[in-house]
Amino acid sequence: SQQGEEDPQALSIQEGENATMNCSYKTSINNLQWYRQNSGRGLVHLILIRSNEREKHSGRLRVTLDTSKKSSSLLITASRAADTASYFCATGPGTYKYIFGTGTRLKVLA
């Protein structure tokens, strides 16, 4: 089974609304990262949160991490049409391997 699973699989919102997506994982981690993938492009790193951190902000992004529940959430505030993309979480167990989730497809309607 997959290490990271995002929820929901797809999300459609209006421009200006907030978008929240969740990631659950199974094993202990060193850090958790969120990536964005625009259609037909490679993944772009958004934010990294370490296992000893609970919340992190970057611009309109807010990430939380709950290691007791093995889950993380990504909040995008005041969404824009340009935020339309797939969002992936990746968990790093500290080896040369990151395991990616299944992704949340976000569509922001203008």
Q: Which is nearer to other proteins, 14 or 39 (CB)?
A: 39
Q: Does 8 interact with other proteins (rule: CB under 8 A)? A: no
Q: Measured between alpha carbons, how far is 98 from 30 in angstroms, rounded to an integer?
A: 10
CB of 20 to other proteins, least distance (A): 20
CA angle 88, 108, 102 (to 5 degrees): 20
Cβ proximity to other proteins: between 40 and 59 the closer is: 40
Minimum CB separation from other proteins for residue 40, in Å? 8
Please identify which residue in 31, 64, 73, 77 interacts with other proteins, judged by CB under 8 A.
31
Evaluated on CA atoms 20, 21, 24, 28, the torsion sign reads negative
The span from the CA of 58 to the CA of 44, in Å, is 14
Shortest distance, position 65 Cβ to other proteins, whole Å = 15
Q: How far apart are alpha carbons 110 and 7 in whole angstroms?
A: 23
Q: Kindly state whether residue 57 participates in binding other proteins, applying the rule CB under 8 A.
A: no
Handedness of CA 99, 26, 24, 74 (dihedral sign): negative
Does 72 contact other proteins by CB under 8 A?
A: no
Binding site for other proteins (CB under 8 A): 2, 30-31, 33, 35, 37, 40-45, 48, 86, 88, 90, 92, 94-100, 102-103, 105
